[in-house]
Structure 1
Amino acid sequence: MRVKDRQMQMNRKELEAFAKEAAKGIKTPEDLNDFSRMLRK
């Protein structure tokens, strides 16, 4: 596996962990909209 592939794999795992943790706080459509806006900033 090339270095770049390993870095992408790590980033994907970190992103998945972040998304799972963030999803715990999303209870309403408004929460989802707020989270989506935050990601686009």
Structure 2
Amino acid sequence: MTEKSASEKIDARIAELGGWRGETLARVRALIKEADPEAVEEWK
């Protein structure tokens, strides 16, 4: 079994939160990706 990528873990966490928190985090994440498409996501 392979470990999930940071992006997959972030996707799962945002989905887990749901509601306004998940929507807000998803929107902020999209804005960051739009501002800097080469940004690297990390999970710590």
Normalising by structure 2, what TM-score?
A: 0.38
Structure showing greater radius of gyration is: 1
Normalising by structure 1, what TM-score?
A: 0.39
- Pick 1 or 2: higher relative contact order, CA cutoff 8 A, min separation 6: 2
- Please state which structure has a larger fraction of its residues in helix: 1
